[in-house]
Amino acid sequence: MGQKLLLDTVHIENIQTYEGYAKQGGYQAIAKVLKSMSPEEVLEEVKKSGLRGRGGAGFPTGMKWSFIAKPEGVPRYLLCNADESEPGTFKDRYLMEKNPHLLIEGMIVSSFALGCHTSYIYIRGEFMWILHILEKAIAEAYAKGWLGKNIKGSGYDLDLYVSPGAGAYICGEETALIESLEGKRGNPRIKPPFPAIKGLWQSPTVVNNVETLASVVPIINRGGEEYAKIGIGRSTGTKLISACGNVNKPGVYEIELGISVEEFLYSDEYCGGIKGGKRLKACVPGGSSVPILPHYLVTKTAAGEQRLMSYESLSDGGFATGSMLGSGGFIVFDEDQCVVRNTWNFTRFYHHESCGQCSPCREGTGWMEKVLHRIENGHGHMHDLDLLWDVQRKIEGNTICPLGDAAAWPVAAALRHFREEFEWHIKEPIKCLKGNYGLVNEPALAV
């Protein structure tokens, strides 16, 4: 059994309440910080921990914090990204529902390190009931003196609020999130200036994922160095993985980074194998935006090494034969699933969610959706495959925010690994409407 740092107490019935959380050692990290640490020392621990952003990009958290500008007399803001909209991802929701005080404590510690006196949790509007859970927990924290003016006599003031979105994937992108929190449409901003310099209301701002901020609590409790001993290489600590699709036990799991994909997928402690004893067809290991892996690249890398649940191993082989850990949305496809249909579905998602500012994304996602729909419905042509390749390539890297890349990568990866399945749809339009292609063949020579 791996160590758990975030979900170790979720089975305790009243852990949602202040008393329950405090009884399990809650609010000791912030107590330690206020009593004996400076903001710089907190930052140092986070740096030592090797913690990387859990929202998808895996950017080192300590480094991100060190970029925040500190002009005299200007407030700074910490924003928690609880937008959780990447298809396949439902981990932050679980953490907030089960253990809201952990996030709150993590935000107090992190706000202290950054010198923020007002912080916000931006949560997707559909999670309104979690917003109520968080507000209740925040009210408890105020009542116990962990929020508000002069926290526990330390002289440090902090207010913490929750604010909802209203249905827009793009608001998970940090500058769109800021726009949305300012009460506007969620159109991402052109960077620079980066939020660390000019973010919310033009003030220096840090945006971090729910799980990232919650992880700061065990880092302070154990010390950064101890935290860094968990995991493998530059993938330190534990990670929440939300498993879905055709597995026996979908759900949210906390893993020590570095366990094998094989163990995660097949052991009873985690996914428990493919449902119905079927064969594995493919896996999207880090949320819909990351490249899909065909069955022969899921548990092993192209070099024949065991694939691990870590930032490095999942991306081993680059986009040619690897993928990404991303947000930890682990989507499993059994042999009866259709990759063309799923690619069309994902593309429809990105088209729907494109904010429309940049032509390559707004138009390109629409084109890809139409072409994929045509192929899936038996009206495709061989040259459509070149067209798809061309369109995705022209989106990637040509947009203000990475939603364009996120839309392009799944299409590129599907074409790369499942070309024979796409071709079959085009050559056998009747068969593709009735049945499915099954597993693709492993190329004789790994490229």
Partner 1 sequence: MGEIKEFKPEILKEIDRIIKQFPEGNQKSAILRVLHLAQNEFGNWLSADTMDYVARLLHLNPIEVYEVATFYSMYNVKAVGKVVIEVCRTGPCCLVGAENIIRHLENSLEIKPGQTTADGLFTLKTVECLGACGYGPMFQIGETYYENLTEEKVDGILNTFRTAQN
Ligand X SMILES: Cc1cc2nc3c(=O)[nH]c(=O)nc-3n(C[C@H](O)[C@H](O)[C@H](O)COP(=O)(O)O)c2cc1C
Binding site for ligand X (CB under 6 A): 53-57, 59, 64, 81, 83-86, 169-170, 172-174, 207-209, 212, 401-403, 406
CA atoms within 13 Å, Cβ hemisphere of 23: 11
- Which is nearer to ligand X, 86 or 421 (by Cβ)? 86
Could you tell me if residue 252 is left (phi over 0), alpha (psi between -120 and 50 degrees) or otherwise beta? beta
What are the percentages of helix, strand and coil residues in the chain, rounded to 5? 45, 15, 40
85 binds partner 1 (CB under 8 A): yes
Alpha-carbon distance of 242 to 252, in angstroms, equals 4
State which residue, 21 or 127, has the beta carbon closest to ligand X: 127
The amino acid that residue 411 corresponds to is V
* 182 contributes a contact to partner 1 by CB under 8 A: yes
Rank residues 2 and 251 by Cβ distance to partner 1 and give the closer one: 251
Report, in Å, the least distance between residue 214 CB and ligand X: 10
Among 34, 37, 36, 12, which residue's Cα sits nearest to residue 25? Answer: 12
Per CB under 8 A, 173 contacts partner 1: no
What is the three-class DSSP state of 106?
helix
Residue 81: both structure tokens together: 């990204």
In the chain, the largest separation of any two C-alpha atoms, in whole Å, equals 74
Cross-strand bridge partners of residue 123: 82, 164
Provide the 10 A C-beta neighbour count for residue 359. Answer: 12
CB of 240 to partner 1, least distance (A): 12
Query: Does residue 264 bind partner 1 (CB under 8 A)?
Result: no
Pick one of partner 1, ligand X, none as the site partner of residue 182 (Cβ within 5 to 8 A by kind). Answer: partner 1
3-state secondary structure of 235: strand
Which of 256, 353, 376, 384 touches partner 1 by CB under 8 A?
Answer: 353
Closest distance between ligand X and the C-beta of residue 373, in Å?
A: 22
Q: For partner 1, what does the binding mask look like between residues 103 and 142, x meaning CB under 8 A?
A: ---------------x-x---xxxxxx-------------
State in angstroms the smallest separation of the CB of 64 from partner 1.
24
Please select the residue that binds partner 1; options are 149, 184, 191, 279, rule is CB under 8 A.
184
Pick the closest to residue 401 from 201, 111, 173, 226 (CA basis): 173
CB of 2 to ligand X, least distance (A): 22
Task: Considering the complex, state which of residue 221 and residue 345 has its C-beta at the smaller distance from partner 1.
Answer: 345
The residue (of 176 and 426) whose beta carbon lies closer to ligand X is 176
Check residue 346 and give left, alpha or beta (phi > 0: left; psi -120 to 50: alpha): alpha
Q: Does 352 bind partner 1 (CB under 8 A)?
A: yes
Q: Report the distance separating Cα 98 and Cα 425, nearest Å.
A: 44
CA separation (Å) from 38 to 32, 154, 156? Answer: 10, 11, 11
Interface residue with partner 1, options 16, 53, 86, 107 (CB under 8 A): 86
Measured from the CB atom, is 299 or 347 closer to partner 1?
Answer: 347
The size of the interface with partner 1 (CB under 8 A), counted in residues, is 56
**Separation of alpha carbons 397 and 362, rounded Å:** 14
* Residue whose CB is less far from partner 1, 45 or 92: 92
Residue 95, SS3? Answer: helix
Q: Using CB under 8 A, list all residues that contact partner 1.
A: 75, 84-90, 92-93, 118, 120, 124-129, 159, 161, 163-169, 180-186, 201, 242-246, 250-252, 288, 329, 331-333, 337, 341-342, 345-346, 349, 352-353
